[in-house]
Each structure stands twice: as C-alpha cells, then as structure tokens.
Amino acid sequence: MSNGLLKAWLIGIALWLAAVVAFAVYSVETSRQRLGDELATVGRTLHRLISQRAAQHDAHMTSLIALADDTEPARLDATRQVMESVARFYPRIAWLALVSLDDKAGQGATAAPPGNHAVRTMIEVPAGGGDDLAPLRDAIEGQQRGKVEAYVGRNGRYLLAKRAQAPSDAALVIAIDARHLLEPEEQPRWAHLTLTLDAQTLVDLPADETAGGAPPLLAPLRFLSTIDSASQKISLSLERAMPTDQLLPVRPLIGFAAMAGLASFALMFALRQRAAVQKSQRSTEEAEARALLQERQALLAHASRVNAMGELASGIAHELTQPLTAMLSRSQAAVRLAGADTPDIGLIREALEVNVREAKRAGEMLKRMRDYASNRAPVPVPSAINDIVAEIAALTGADLQRRGIELKLDMASETLKADVDAIEMEQVLHNLIRNAADALESAETARPQIAIETRADGQEIRIVVRDNGPGIAAQAFPKLFQPFFTTKADGMGLGLSLCATLIERVDGRIEAENAPDGGACFTITLPRTRKREPS
Ligand SMILES: Nc1ncnc2c1ncn2[C@@H]1O[C@H](COP(=O)(O)OP(=O)(O)OP(=O)(O)O)[C@@H](O)[C@H]1O
Ligand SMILES: [Mg+2]
C-alpha cells in the first residue's frame, strides 16, 4: 500500500471514529436529558399527589376534632360514624382514635410511672387495631392545642395527633400507612422511591430489576423534595439508575456507524479522485511546460547555429574554392587529353578519379554545413565522441586556419560513446572553440592554439577544450554560465549558458578553470553509454 493511500485510509478511519464518538456522546447526552426530564416530571407529580393527600389528612384532623370536642355521648357516636366512613374511604388511613389524656379521671385507667402513662381510648376505628400510644402520651400532652404533630410509627406508618381545645382532654390520633400514600399505578417502576419523616424511613421501594439490565454508564439521577405540609414534613426521594442500554441504544449506534463508515469511505474516495485528477493535471501542465521549454531551447540553439554559420561561411567558401579550381583545371586538362589523336586513357582516368575524390570531399563539407544548420528535434542516441569532435574540427578548421589559429586534436584511442544528440554536441564544442578564438584574437596571443582532448575516466568521458589565451577574468567566473553575461562589445552572452543547458539535459556537466600556465580550460563530463546486456 502506498504512503498516500495509507494516509487517506487513516484519515478516513479517524473521521469515521470521530463521527461515531460524536454520535455516541450526543446520544448519551440527549438520553440523559430525556431520562432526567422524565424523572423530574414524575417527581413533581408525586410531590403534588402526596401534598394533596397530606392536606386531606389535615382536613380530616380539623373536622374530626371539631366534632369530637364535646363530650356528649351523642357527639361521640357521630364522631365514630364519621371516623368509620373516613377509614372506609381512605385505605391509607390505617386507624383513627379519639383518646383522653386525663388518666386520673379515666375509668379503668391505671396509675402509671412517669413517662409511661396509660392512654384512655374513647373511640378506636377499627376497634383493637390501634398502635400503642403510651410512649407518645407525654409528647401529645405537650403539643400546642389545635396544632397537628406527626410521629413515626411502626410498619411504615406515621401518626398524626391533635389536641382538642381547652378544657377538653381529648386528642385525635390517626395513623397513616405511608406505603399507601401512592397508588401502585402511581409509583414509577424504574426508580428507587423512598419516603422519610424525621430522618426515619417510611417507605423504601427499590426499582424494578427488569427496567435495566446492563451496568450503569453514568451516576444515577436523583429527585429530592419535601412535601408542602406544615404537619407532615415527608421527604420524597426518587433515584434513577443510568443503564448503558438506555443511554446508548445499540441499534441506532450500529446504524450510524455503518452510515458514517460509508460516508467516510465515499468522502475519502472523492478526495483521492480529486487529488489524482489534480496530480495528473499538474503533471500534464509540467510536461507541457517542459516541452515548451525544450522547443524554445531548440529554437535558440538553431538560431545560434544559423548565426554561427555566417562566421564559418567565408572559411568554408575558401575551403571549397580551392578544390573546385583544381577540379576545373584537371577537367580541362582531361578534355584536352581526350581530344588528342591517341588519348592517354590512363592519365584521363587518373584526373577523373582525383576529381571524384575532391567532389566527394566538397559534398561532405556541404552536407556537414547543411546538417549543422538543420532545424530538427534533438535525439540523444549513443554517439561516438571522437567522430563529433572530428566533425566540428572539419567544420571550423578552415575558419580557424584563416584566422591563424592552430587546432590540435588529442583523441582517446578507444571509441567512447555517450547518449547525446551529435548536432547539439557539435554546437557546444563550436561555442567553446569560438570563445577561445575570440579570446586569442582579442589578446593577440603569439602562436595562438586551441587544443581539444577526449579521454575516458571510469564510467565518464571528458572532453577538454583549452586555449593559450589570456584566461577567464576572475570577476567573470561567478556569472560565466548565466544567460546574457558577456565581456564582449558584440557578444550576446548566450554561448556558455546554452552549452550548460544542452550538457545538463544529457546528464552531463561543464566546468571552467584557468590552466596554471595561462589560458582558459573548459571540461565537459558525460556519462558513458551503458553496454547493453546480451539478451
Ligand atoms: N576561452 C575563454 N577565454 C576567456 N574568456 C572567456 C572564454 N570563454 C568565455 N569567456 C568569457 O565568458 C563570457 C561569456 O561567454 P559566452 O559564450 O556565454 O558569451 P559571449 O561569447 O560573450 O557571447 P555569445 O557567445 O552569445 O556571442 C565571455 O564574454 C568571456 O568574457
Ligand atoms: Mg560565446
């Protein structure tokens, strides 16, 4: 797997994971909110119901004590009847009693030690079902008349007691079964419900186990409130566990993970496609730019060759004039010989054979010129370097000779081949020869000389062009291969920069130095053509 592909996959997986985690967090948060809202709603409802029922108890207390305040037996009977109907209608009221706190006056009352007085019961509904009031007697007697007080009883009951107005010794007590304060259908199965009075538990109903099986993900939610009643300060507590399966439902999570996976994959695929398109666009643009640059360089090289041909033309013309003149006089002599009475065929043939050789040489020179000035796309192929040097020497030889400059060749004995375009290599050498000739002429060097040497150096070929001129000026060195750098009045400064471009294009390099004994020395290094393995 490529680095780019691996990176794209990793980004895709990271995106997917981030989306799934975000969904899980969102899901947990919204579920928690929903469960919390539900708990608060139910808690408020229960609070209201219990408060209403506590108010009902207060109302019963008020009406019954008012009725029982009088000690007339008829009133007592009426009070009993009301008590009975209250007990019937309200199952949570476990028991009602009208008691007398005056144990001395009571019939059947026994003298009791302090703190353990007997309580004389006047009415008890249902009969015999009441709680033992003896321990509460002192507390009830100490109550403010007309005020309802609550006491925790046994088995989840609490007692409400109210003393009648003076001078009566009566007190009304009702026992309320806190377990029936709420109807079964009103109790939430999913919450742990507790009711407490004076820090003592009246009701403790754990949540239904089946409501949530998985271990909890978050701490339980709580609803706490105290009932709005002056007499019954009951605390209501609801505790709701936060099971994982309710906070983070598995099916939607899997569904979302699958969708997010598809979306991430599609996004990754689209991004890769776009990157691939951009990359191919870029490489197309680069290839186009490279082609354009090469085209321009080829144009420049051609223009430079055509320009240089002008300089060579007079030398070449001179080179051609001599053989042509010799061929003419030899042909005229042959014509004369042919017109004799006994023509000397041997001499005529000899003259014609020399003419053929000379004509071929002239033809080769013209072909060389035509090839050099041709405008065709460069093709680097394995080329013999010595042949290239010989070609350019032949092309420039006449011009150099005319200018009185000696051209010395020192060629490697073996055939050295490099992957180059022969015409472009000739052009490089021609530029170096022209520069050397210009330097020699401008310095008016005595015995001016240009030497070209070819040699092998391991897997490389070196072509060295040196002259015995003034050498390269020290300040010229840094800019030598930059375009438009020239020290000549009529120079363009393009020769060496073109050389560098053409040489670098075939993976070679060109360096300049001054020889210790004077004169400039340019060294071209080219990689040798690799020998093909026999297949
Ligand atoms: N053999 C040399 N001896 C001394 N100086 C040289 C030699 N060859 C090049 N130079 C210096 O390098 C400069 C740049 O050469 P380059 O061939 O790039 O441009 P040019 O010859 O000035 O102009 P153009 O080649 O475009 O006609 C020359 O102007 C010259 O100062
Ligand atoms: Mg030049």
The residue out of 217, 247, 277 marking a domain boundary is: 247
493 belongs to a structural domain: yes
> How many Å lie between the centroid of ligand 2 and the Cα of residue 415?
29
Q: Mean pLDDT over residues 318-344, rounded?
A: 90
pLDDT in tens, 245-260: 778 888 989 999 999 9
* 261 in a structural domain: no
Confidence label for 214 from pLDDT (cuts 50, 70 and 90): low
Q: Is the pLDDT of residue 74 over 80?
A: no
Ligand nearest to the CA of 486: 1
Residue 105's pLDDT is what? 45
pLDDT for the residue 526: 98
Ligand nearest to the CA of 485: 1
The CATH number that applies at residue 411 is: 3.30.565.10
Q: Hey, how many other C-beta atoms are within 10 angstroms of the C-beta on 2?
A: 7
Please count the CA atoms within 13 angstroms of the CA of 262 that sit on its side-chain side: 5
3-class SS letters over 138-175: HHHHCCCCCCEEEEECCCCEEEEEEECCCCCCEEEEEE
E strand or H helix at 509, and its extent?
strand 509-514
Q: Is residue 84 part of a domain?
A: yes
**Cα atoms in the 13 Å half-sphere on the side-chain side of 176:** 29
CA 510 to ligand 2 center in whole angstroms: 14
Task: Please report the atom of ligand 1 found closest to the CA of residue 496.
Answer: 18
Q: Kindly report the CATH number assigned to the domain that includes residue 178.
A: 3.30.450
Instruction: Give the pLDDT confidence score for residue 211 in this predicted structure.
Output: 47
Of 202, 219, 247, which marks where a domain is finished? Answer: 247
pLDDT of 235 higher than 90: yes
Centre of ligand 2 to C-alpha 435, Å, is 5
Which numbered atom of ligand 1 lies nearest the CA of 487? 29
**Residue 368 forms part of a structural domain:** no
Residue nearest to atom 2 of ligand 1 (CA): 436
Residue 98 has pLDDT above 60, yes or no: yes
Q: Quick check: is 311 in a domain?
A: no
- For 295, phi then psi, to 5°, come to -60, -45
Distance (Å, whole) CA 519 – CA 469: 4
282 part of a folded domain? no
Over residues 495-520, mean pLDDT: 94
Residue nearest to atom 20 of ligand 1 (CA): 493
What's the whole-number mean pLDDT along residues 319-334?
90
CA 408 to chain centroid, in Å, comes to 66
What is the 494 CA–ligand 2 centroid distance (Å)? 7
Picking from 232, 247, 262, the residue at the C-terminal end of a domain is 247
Look at ligand 1, atom 13, and give the residue with the nearest C-alpha.
Answer: 486
**Cα of 314 to ligand 1 centre, how many Å?**
22
Under the banding of pLDDT at 50, 70 and 90, the label for residue 108 is very low
Q: Quick one: 239 and 388 in the same domain?
A: no
Longest dimension (CA), the chain: 198
pLDDT interval class at 103 (50, 70, 90): low
CA distance 165 to 146: 6
Q: What angle do CA 120, 124, 126 make, to 5 degrees?
A: 150
Domain that holds residue 29: 19-103+118-247
Atom number of ligand 1 nearest to Cα 436 = 1
Q: Which residues have C-beta under 5 Å from ligand 2, the single-atom ion? A: 435, 495
What single DSSP character describes residue 104? T
- For residues 486-512, average pLDDT: 94
Distance (Å) from CA 308 to ligand 1 centroid = 14
Q: How far is the CA of 481 from the centre of ligand 1 (A)?
A: 9
Q: Ligand 2 centre and the CA of 432: distance in Å? A: 7
In ligand 1, the atom with minimum distance to the C-alpha of 304 is 26
User: Does residue 471 or residue 69 have the better pLDDT?
Assistant: 471
What confidence tens digit (pLDDT) does each residue in 260-314 have?
A: 989 888 888 888 889 899 999 999 999 999 999 888 888 888 988 888 888 788 7
Strand, helix or coil at 303?
Answer: helix
Q: Which two tokens stand for residue 490?
A: 């009529």
Domain count, the chain: 2
* pLDDT tens figures, 160-207: 999 988 888 889 999 999 999 999 999 999 999 999 999 999 999 999
SS3 (DSSP) at 504? helix
Residue 38 lies in a domain: yes
Res 71: pLDDT = 63
Shared domain for 95 and 238, answered yes or no, is: yes
In a domain, 430, yes or no: yes
How close is the Cα of 436 to the center of ligand 2, in Å?
Answer: 9
Pocket perturbation via mutation, ligand 1, pick of 430, 488, 499 by most ligand atoms within 8 A of CB: 488
Q: Whose CA is nearest to atom 27 of ligand 1?
A: 491
Provide the mean pLDDT of the chain. Answer: 89
Q: Examine the domain organization and report whether 385 and 525 are in the same domain.
A: yes
Atom of ligand 1 nearest to the CA of 494: 26
Ligand 1 nearest atom to the CA of residue 469, by list position = 3
Please indicate, yes or no, whether residues 237 and 383 belong to a single structural domain of this protein. Answer: no
Measured from the alpha carbon of residue 480, the closest ligand is: 1
Find the 435 Cα to ligand 1 centroid distance in Å.
5
**pLDDT-based confidence at 368, cuts 50/70/90?**
confident
Would you state the pLDDT for residue 530?
87
Pocket of ligand 1 (CB under 6 A): 431, 435-436, 439, 467, 469, 472, 476, 480, 485-488, 491-497, 520
106 has a pLDDT exceeding 60: no
Protein residue with its CA nearest to atom 8 in ligand 1: 435
Q: Amino acid identity of 370?
A: R
133 confidence band (pLDDT: 50, 70, 90): confident
